[in-house]
Chains A and B, each alone.
Chain A
Amino acid sequence: MRVALFVTCLADTLFPQVGQAMVALLERLGHQVDFPAAQTCCGQMHINTGYQRQALPLVEHFTETFEGYDAVVAPSGSCVGSVRHQHAAIARRHGRADLADRSHALAAKTFELSEFLVDVLGTTDVGAYFPHRVTYHPTCHSLRMLRVDDKPLRLLRAVRGMTLVELPDADQCCGFGGTFALKNADTSTAMLADKMRHVLATKAETVTAGDSSCLMHIGGGLSRLQTGVRTLHLAEILASVETLHAPAGAS
C-alpha cells in the first residue's frame, strides 16, 4: 500500500514532532510512508472563514498532490473533515464538476490517524509505552464530522504504563474554532477557561487529542497559567516506546 502522509500546514510549521511521530509509528508497524513534497494546506481556514473562491486552488492542489496514493493519513480530524465534507462541495459550487468527482474519490481514502490505525490497519495495540497520567480531549471535528467514536480511546487504552483518566464534559468544544479564537476572543477564552478547569480536575500531567490546533489552544492557555500540564498529540504518545523512557544508566 502506498501511504502518503499529509502532515498539515500547522504541524509542518509549528509542530514537526507530530509528523515525525507519525512517520516513526507507521514505520514501526511495518508500513512505508511517503511525504509528497508538493503538499501545502487543505484550505480549511479559508473555507471556514468565508474565502471559498481563494480556497479553490488549494482544493485543486491538494487533490493533484495526493490522488495517486492508495491512502492518505493526517494527524488532524479537522483537516480530514474538510477534505471529506467540504472539498467536493466547494469544487461543485464553483462549477468544477470534474474536480468535485476527483475530490470525492480522494476523500474516500483520506483518513485521520486513529481511523487509519483502527479501520484500515485493523490494530488497536501499536506497542506504545507511556508511563504518565493522561487525559483525552475528543476534538469536535473528529467527534462529530468524522465520527471517530472511541477509536482514539481504544488506542490509548492499549498503551502500556499509562493511566488514562476521563475528562469531565469531554465533548464540549475548547473554544478554538479557527478564526473564532480571534474574532470572538472573549467567548473563546471563556470556553477555554472551562476546558482548562476540567483538565486540571483530572490531575493529569498530559492532555492529548487528535488535532494540533485544539492542542495549541488548550496548551496556550495552560502555559499562560503556568500549570505545568503539557499537551501532546495522540501520534506522539502512540509513537513512544519503552526504550525512550528508560532512565539514564538503566540496564
Chain B
Amino acid sequence: MSQVFLGMPAHSSPGVGALRGDQTFPQAARTALADPQLRRNLGHATGTIRAKRLAVVSELDDWEQLRLAGQAIKAATMARLDDHLARLEQEVTARGGTVHWARDAVEANRIITELVQATGADEVVKVKSMVTQEIGLNEALEQAGIAAWETDLAELIVQLGHDTPSHILVPAIHRNRSEIREIFLREMPGVDPDLTDEPRRLAMAARSHLRRKFLSAKVAVSGANFAVAETGTLVVVESEGNGRMCLTLPDTLITVMGIEKLVPTWTDLEVFLQLLPRSSTGERMNPYTSMWTGVSPGDGPQDFHLVLLDNGRTAVLADEVGREALHCIRCSACLNVCPVYERAGGHAYGSVYPGPIGAVLTPQLTGVEQNASLPYASTLCGACFDACPVRIDIPSILVHLRARHVEEYAAEHRLPSAESLAMGAAAWVMSSARRFGFVTRTARLGRVLGRRRGRIRSLPPPASAWTATRDVPLPPTETFREWWLRTRGES
C-alpha cells in the first residue's frame, strides 16, 4: 500500500473504471489480429474517415495557424489550470449550478450516485461520455440499483452488446450492421422481430427505443467537450441530437468533466470548434453543438451539477514532457491514421482511451508500471503528430514514457532485466570504436546460419520473434570499416 502525501498528485483509482486491461498490448493485439472480420471492419472504417478528414482539412488555408493556435491556448491554459478551474467553479455557482470536486473514480461515482439517489430516480439517460466510461459510472450506478441508458447510437450498440468501446469517436467501429441487428433483436425490449440490417431500419429501432427513455427519465448524465471558464458554460458537440434531448428534457443534469477540458474564454472556444469536427468526423461542422450555463428558471433542467474529476490528471500535469497529453480534445484523428491501431483495434489498448493518444495518456493516469506495454505499442512513425489538431508530439511523449518505465523498473528491482543488461552491454560496446569494430567483425560468424540459402531463416529467442516471419540478411564477409581500412588505409 503506497502512502499518500499532501500535495502529491495521485493516480487513478485501481480496480475501478476502464483504464487497465487484463492483458498486455501484444497479447491483446494477437487476439484482434486473428479476427479477419474485425480487421476488415477497422481497415474500412479508418480508411474512410482518414480520406474525409484529409479532404476537409485541405479546404482551409489557415489550418496550420489554427493548429498552432490550439496548441498555444492549451499550453497557456495548463500553465494556469488552478486559476481557470477556480474561475469556472465561481461562474457555475453564480449561475445556479453546484460544483463537486472528485479526486478519483471512486469519489466521482459516489458523488454522482448520491445525487441521483437524492432525486428518487432509478434510471438516468446518458450523453456519450468518455469520462464516465473511464470511471466505470454505469457499473457503479447499477450496483446502487440505478439503470443508466446510453443514448448515443454507437454507445447503445456497445451497451446492449455487453461490450466496451473500441474507438473514441466511433465506439462500435469494430461491429458491422448484421452484428448490430443481432444485438438489437437479442437485447432491445419490444423490438420488431422482422428487423433487417438496413441502416435506416436499425436507426429507427434505436430511435423508438430511446424516445421512451428520453420521455421517462428525470435525470441525465453528460460529459463535456469543453467548459468556458469565463461564463461557466458547458459544451457538448455531437452528431445525432440525442445528447440535446438529454440536456434539455430531464429535471436534473449531472455533468462529469476531466479538469483538463476547460478553455479560459469564448474566443478560445472558437479555435477548437473549428479544429474538432474536421479532425474527428471529417465534417466542416458537427450537426449539434449544445451549450448550457447554470440553470434557467422554467427552461431545461432546474438542477445542475458539475463534477470536476482528477483521477490522475494532476499526476500527468506534473510531468513536464508528458503533460502535453492533457491537451487532447478527443477528436480521434490519431487513431484513424495510426497503422498500429488500424491492425490491433481499440480493445488491445485495454483502456477507454485507445490509439496513440491512449498510449500516452493511459499510462500517465494509472502510473506507467500499470500500463507498461502501452508506450511501446507504436513504431514512432509520427502520423499521429501530423494529424493531431493541437499538435501533441505523441512520438516524443512515447519515447519519454519508455525512459520513465525503464528508470522506474530499475529503481524498483534489485536485478536488472535481460533487456537492460543487453542494452547496457550494447552501449558499452558502441561507446568505443575498437570494441564496436571487434563485435561487428564477429557478426560474420552468423554466416554459418545461412550458408546454404544466402539468408538466415531462424534465430534463437528473442530474435526468433523476427525470424518467425522475416529473413535476416547474411552478414557480409567484410564490414564497411574493414573495407575502408583495406582500400583507403587509416583516415
Q: Interface code B393-404, partner A: CB below 8 Å = 1, 0 otherwise? A: 000100100111
Q: Is B483 an interface residue when CB atoms closer than 8 A count as contact?
A: yes
Q: Interface code B301-335, partner A: CB below 8 Å = 1, 0 otherwise? A: 00000000000000000000000000000000000
Q: Interface code A115-140, partner B: CB below 8 Å = 1, 0 otherwise? A: 00000000000000000000000001
Within 8 A of B (CB), among A1-42: 7, 9, 11-17, 19-20, 34-41
Q: Is A47 an interface residue when CB atoms closer than 8 A count as contact?
A: yes
B residues apposed to A, CB below 8 Å: 25-26, 29-30, 33, 39, 339-340, 343-344, 373, 375-383, 385-386, 396, 399, 402-407, 419-420, 423-424, 426-427, 430-433, 436, 440, 443, 455, 457, 462-463, 465-466, 468-473, 475-476, 478-485, 488, 490-491
**In the complex, chain A residues whose CB is within 8 Å of the CB of B457:** 224
Within 8 A of B (CB), among A132-183: 140-141, 143-145, 171-173, 175-183
Whether B473 lies near A219 (C-beta < 8 A) is yes
The 10 lowest CB-CB distance pairs between A and B, nearest first, are A177-B379, A220-B470, A50-B402, A144-B382, A50-B406, A173-B381, A140-B381, A16-B480, A54-B427, A19-B480
Residue from A17, A61, A182, A191 in contact with B339 in the complex, judged by beta carbons closer than 8 Å? A191
Within 8 A of B (CB), among A39-81: 39-41, 43, 45-55, 57-58, 61
- What's the least CB distance linking A66 to chain B, in Å? 13
Whether B25 lies near A184 (C-beta < 8 A) is yes
Whether B26 lies near A37 (C-beta < 8 A) is no
**In the complex, chain B residues whose CB is within 8 Å of the CB of A220:** 466, 470-473
* Bound Cα distance from A45 to B427, whole angstroms: 10
**In the complex, chain A residues whose CB is within 8 Å of the CB of B431:** 40, 57-58, 61
A residues apposed to B, CB below 8 Å: 7, 9, 11-17, 19-20, 34-41, 43, 45-55, 57-58, 61, 85-86, 140-141, 143-145, 171-173, 175-192, 216-217, 219-221, 223-224
Whether A13 lies near B484 (C-beta < 8 A) is no
**In the complex, chain B residues whose CB is within 8 Å of the CB of A39:** 433
**In the complex, chain A residues whose CB is within 8 Å of the CB of B380:** 48, 140-141, 177-178, 180
* Bound Cα distance from A192 to B471, whole angstroms: 13
**In the complex, chain A residues whose CB is within 8 Å of the CB of B440:** 9, 12-13
Q: A13-B475, A223-B471 are in contact. Are A180 and B379 (CB under 8 A)?
A: yes
* Bound Cα distance from A187 to B491, whole angstroms: 43
Residue from A11, A41, A189, A190 in contact with B480 in the complex, judged by beta carbons closer than 8 Å? A11
* Bound Cα distance from A208 to B385, whole angstroms: 25
Whether A190 lies near B455 (C-beta < 8 A) is no
Residue from B33, B382, B470 in contact with A217 in the complex, judged by beta carbons closer than 8 Å? B470
**In the complex, chain A residues whose CB is within 8 Å of the CB of B379:** 140, 173, 175-178, 180, 188, 191
**In the complex, chain A residues whose CB is within 8 Å of the CB of B475:** 13-14
- What's the least CB distance linking A216 to chain B, in Å? 7
Name which residue of chain B comes closest to A78, CB basis: B380
* Bound Cα distance from A176 to B373, whole angstroms: 17
* Bound Cα distance from A48 to B468, whole angstroms: 23
Whether B381 lies near A177 (C-beta < 8 A) is yes
Whether B386 lies near A144 (C-beta < 8 A) is yes
**In the complex, chain A residues whose CB is within 8 Å of the CB of B479:** 12-13, 16
**In the complex, chain B residues whose CB is within 8 Å of the CB of A219:** 471, 473
* Bound Cα distance from A51 to B404, whole angstroms: 9
* Bound Cα distance from A12 to B109, whole angstroms: 58
Name which residue of chain A comes closest to B474, CB basis: A14
**In the complex, chain B residues whose CB is within 8 Å of the CB of A171:** 383
Whether A35 lies near B491 (C-beta < 8 A) is yes
* Bound Cα distance from A195 to B386, whole angstroms: 21
Whether A34 lies near B426 (C-beta < 8 A) is no
Q: A180-B376, A182-B463 are in contact. Are A41 and B430 (CB under 8 A)?
A: yes
User: Could you list some 5 contacts between A and B, CB below 8 A?
Assistant: A20-B483, A37-B490, A40-B433, A144-B386, A180-B378
Name which residue of chain B comes closest to A65, CB basis: B433
- What's the least CB distance linking A239 to chain B, in Å? 14
Most interface-central of B29, B339, B432 (chain A CB within 10 A)? B339
Residue from A34, A57, A221 in contact with B469 in the complex, judged by beta carbons closer than 8 Å? A221
- What's the least CB distance linking B433 to chain A, in Å? 5
* Bound Cα distance from A36 to B26, whole angstroms: 41
Whether B481 lies near A35 (C-beta < 8 A) is yes
Whether B376 lies near A184 (C-beta < 8 A) is yes
* Bound Cα distance from A102 to B131, whole angstroms: 45
Whether B383 lies near A173 (C-beta < 8 A) is yes
* Bound Cα distance from A20 to B476, whole angstroms: 13
**In the complex, chain A residues whose CB is within 8 Å of the CB of B443:** 13-14
* Bound Cα distance from A239 to B391, whole angstroms: 39
Whether A190 lies near B33 (C-beta < 8 A) is yes
**In the complex, chain A residues whose CB is within 8 Å of the CB of B484:** 19, 35, 37
Whether B491 lies near A34 (C-beta < 8 A) is yes
**In the complex, chain B residues whose CB is within 8 Å of the CB of A43:** 427, 430
Whether A221 lies near B402 (C-beta < 8 A) is no
Whether B424 lies near A54 (C-beta < 8 A) is yes
Whether B399 lies near A37 (C-beta < 8 A) is no
* Bound Cα distance from A14 to B378, whole angstroms: 25
Name which residue of chain A comes closest to B398, CB basis: A48
Whether B403 lies near A50 (C-beta < 8 A) is yes
Whether B480 lies near A7 (C-beta < 8 A) is yes
**In the complex, chain A residues whose CB is within 8 Å of the CB of B427:** 43, 46, 51, 54-55, 57-58
Residue from B381, B463, B480 in contact with A12 in the complex, judged by beta carbons closer than 8 Å? B480
* Bound Cα distance from A26 to B452, whole angstroms: 35
Contacts A46-B426, A48-B399 known; 4 new A-B pairs at CB < 8 A: A43-B430, A51-B406, A86-B399, A184-B29
**In the complex, chain B residues whose CB is within 8 Å of the CB of A13:** 440, 443, 475, 479
Whether A224 lies near B471 (C-beta < 8 A) is yes
